[in-house]
Structure 1
Amino acid sequence: MARITTPLTNTEVKQAKARDKEYNLSDGEGLQLRIKPNGSKLWLLNYSRPYTKKRVNLGFGKYPDISLADARKLRAEARTLLAKNIDPMEHRDSISNHQKEKIENTLLNVAKKWFQVKKSAVTPNYAEDIWRSLELHVFPYIGKRPISEITAPIAIKTVKPIAEKGSLETVKRINQRLNEIMNYAVNTGLIHSNPLSGVKAAFEKPKKKSMPTIKPDELPQFMQALSIASIKIVTRYIIEWQLHTMIRPGEAVKARWSEIDFEQKLWNIPAETMKRKRPHSVPLTKQALNLLTTIKPISGHREYIFPADRNPRSHANESTANAAIKRMGYHGKLVAHGLRALASTTLNEQGFDPDVIEAALAHVDSNEVRRAYNRADYLKRRAKMMDWWSDHIEKCSTGSFSLSGTKLLKAV
């Protein structure tokens, strides 16, 4: 006949005294009160683990923090789990780990891990812009929330004030970055799916704005304004270099002397400098080479062709040309990036192959075969086109002081 255990009373539990050795008082169905020599009392549930049938003790906490009634309630919950072949200890550990993960894996903490990967694939300036936008618009509001609790309504509510201000381009970028963070969380096993994949549908699409630029017939006027502009000499070089090479402002200012192949007349730009993270070669015209010749006394002993004013060991800021063009009276009419559009429009009007023009602008071709063809054959065709473009710039500079002029200027 099975032994019947008499349930404990509150008085027995309260008055249980310490002994030389620890001992247990049983309440039945595996629940025990362990009294230690130091007087502490601990509730335990002794049970057989499902499948293995190995007996173990599951601690419920100390008395009087956990009362007799509390301990019995915890025993009942554990026995309900056991009836379903669920190990109470594993179940508790799973919940504990889940709670710990929720605390550790906040949106901010996951974003930091994502950013370590992201910033290796973009330029330092762009990486800084990404993180600054999240610090400004996202983290103060939902950064401390567990990544598993971020939902579409929460994200929309966070971004909505930006949309109400009309900053739709910022909304677009924030939504993209939040989606990248959530996809990172999915791919690293933190969440099962990305709940923000469709949030962009909740906002109006930003209207695409072209970079301010001038018309092809306005280039002579611009060259005249540049020739008399009160700007630093290195800034003049940067603007003319951008004009002749058709390269983005952020890529142009980072040009290094080591990247120039004078024998092949090429500027070989490494992938890490380029916006699309693909290496790019620019055929150098006689005017572009003349620019290098005339600036060499200024920076030939430096790493960068266009050194920064305050720290010559670094390169000039990519906004340098923009600021100068603005001061020249072109605010709202032309930006440094718009020089590329000016070149593209002019070359298209002259009937040059659009694919060759796109290759010169370093626009990514989605067709892998054609992209390979671009690298091999287009370089020669681009060189001829670039020669025409530089000659055109020089003609537009007639009567003006041009740093790249092959006839007007040979040395600084």
Structure 2
Amino acid sequence: MNKFASKLAALNTFEQLAREWYDLQKSQWVERHASDVIESLEKEVFPHIGARPINDLQPTDILPVLRLIERRGAIETARRVRQRMSAVFVYGIATGRAKDDPAATVQKAMAPLIKGRQPAVVDLEEAREMLLAAIATPSHPVTRLALRILALTAVRPGTLIATQWSEWDEESLTQGIWQIPAERMKLRLQYKNDQSRDHLVPLARQTIEAIQTLQRLTGRGPLTLPQNAQSPSPSDTPRSEPRTHVLGGEVVG
């Protein structure tokens, strides 16, 4: 290989193209997703094939990288990493520096992702039982109130945990509407600042009463559910309790 070809190969390593692809794409992603993408490549891929010229890589180089992830039981992570590797190869093809996409070839050779049934409350009687269970659960008072609000609004636990008192101001409670900002919802980045995509949740009288009671306990700070206001036990939180202690696995977060 002559000196020019050697320099070209060094510029066209998998890591080099992956970072170019990432820099091109990251502006359309939310920060958390962008961090997840680059960190997964840095941790799972670059140590194994990052320094290799992209055109030297074959399916037999890609699959062992993914197998290492699968052996940890991280099947979904392995699939996401393969998709990201494939996107890098496609970028290389589009820019004239890669010939094919070996990450696409190995897709059918990967371990299957087996997902269990996602349980849910499907009728009014189940909803009533769920609410009664939330009320009767022996928990920290803040957690009990959070569970009651969760049961009455059916929002995601993560959404409730991140709620600030500014979303439950006097006007919202008077109108009986909880306006969750689009920026907190699972939306594409270009919709995050679009107020028309805010999620509106009706607040029943019982929900408003629970919120007002909660405010007397945690209303001094910006967050409705500050971590130090709940039980120190990790299992005694709105995120985990509806799945286990309260509902016997009948609500998903």
TM-score in terms of structure 2 length: 0.69
Q: Tell me whether 1:308 sits opposite 2:227 in the alignment.
A: yes
Deviation at 1:115, TM superposition (A): 7.3
The aligned residue for residue 61 of structure 2 is 154
1:139–1:335 distance in 2 versus 1, CA, 3 Å: farther
Deviation at 1:294, TM superposition (A): 1.5
Once residues 175 and 303 of structure 1 are traced to their aligned partners in structure 2, the CA distance between those partners, rounded to angstroms, is 40
The aligned residue for residue 241 of structure 2 is 324
Q: Tell me whether 1:243 sits opposite 2:151 in the alignment.
A: yes
Q: Could you tell me which of 95, 109, 124 is aligned with 2:5? A: 95
Deviation at 1:155, TM superposition (A): 1.7
Contact 1:123-1:273 within 8 A present in 2 as well: no
Letter in 1 for 2:62: A
1:187–1:174 distance in 2 versus 1, CA, 3 Å: same
Once residues 241 and 188 of structure 1 are traced to their aligned partners in structure 2, the CA distance between those partners, rounded to angstroms, is 52
TM-score in terms of structure 1 length: 0.46
> Deviation per CA, 1:267-309, whole angstroms, max 9, x where unpaired?
2222321112453222222232222211122333322222222
The aligned residue for residue 273 of structure 1 is 184
Contact 1:267-1:284 within 8 A present in 2 as well: yes
Note the aligned Cα RMSD (angstroms). 4.0
Contact 1:254-1:304 within 8 A present in 2 as well: yes
Contact 1:267-1:282 within 8 A present in 2 as well: yes
1:190–1:308 distance in 2 versus 1, CA, 3 Å: farther
**Greater share of helix:** 2
Structure 1 segment 364-379 matched on structure 2, within 5 A: none
Letter in 2 for 1:241: I
Once residues 116 and 234 of structure 1 are traced to their aligned partners in structure 2, the CA distance between those partners, rounded to angstroms, is 44
Gaps of 5+ in 1: 1-90, 312-316, 338-412
Contact 1:269-1:281 within 8 A present in 2 as well: yes
Once residues 16 and 251 of structure 2 are traced to their aligned partners in structure 1, the CA distance between those partners, rounded to angstroms, is 35
Q: Give SS of 1:267's match.
A: strand
> Deviation per CA, 1:171-219, whole angstroms, max 9, x where unpaired?
3323223234444555677646544334322335423423244664454
1:210–1:298 distance in 2 versus 1, CA, 3 Å: same
Contact 1:241-1:291 within 8 A present in 2 as well: yes
Letter in 1 for 2:185: M
* Percent identity of paired positions between Structure 1 and Structure 2: 26
Q: Tell me whether 1:114 sits opposite 2:22 in the alignment.
A: yes
Letter in 1 for 2:145: Y
1:222–1:268 distance in 2 versus 1, CA, 3 Å: closer
Q: Give SS of 2:200's match.
A: strand
**Greater share of strand:** 1
Once residues 27 and 217 of structure 2 are traced to their aligned partners in structure 1, the CA distance between those partners, rounded to angstroms, is 33
Letter in 1 for 2:118: M
Deviation at 1:154, TM superposition (A): 1.9
Q: Larger RCO: Structure 1 or Structure 2 (Cα < 8 Å, ≥ 6 residues apart)?
A: 2
Letter in 2 for 1:302: G
Contact 1:162-1:171 within 8 A present in 2 as well: yes
Contact 1:321-1:336 within 8 A present in 2 as well: no
Q: Could you tell me which of 118, 136, 143 is aligned with 1:211? A: 118
1:173–1:305 distance in 2 versus 1, CA, 3 Å: same
Once residues 336 and 175 of structure 1 are traced to their aligned partners in structure 2, the CA distance between those partners, rounded to angstroms, is 28
The aligned residue for residue 211 of structure 2 is 292
Q: Give SS of 1:178's match.
A: helix
The aligned residue for residue 231 of structure 1 is 139
Q: What is the total number of aligned residue pairs between the two structures?
A: 237
The aligned residue for residue 194 of structure 2 is none
Contact 2:9-2:53 within 8 A present in 1 as well: no
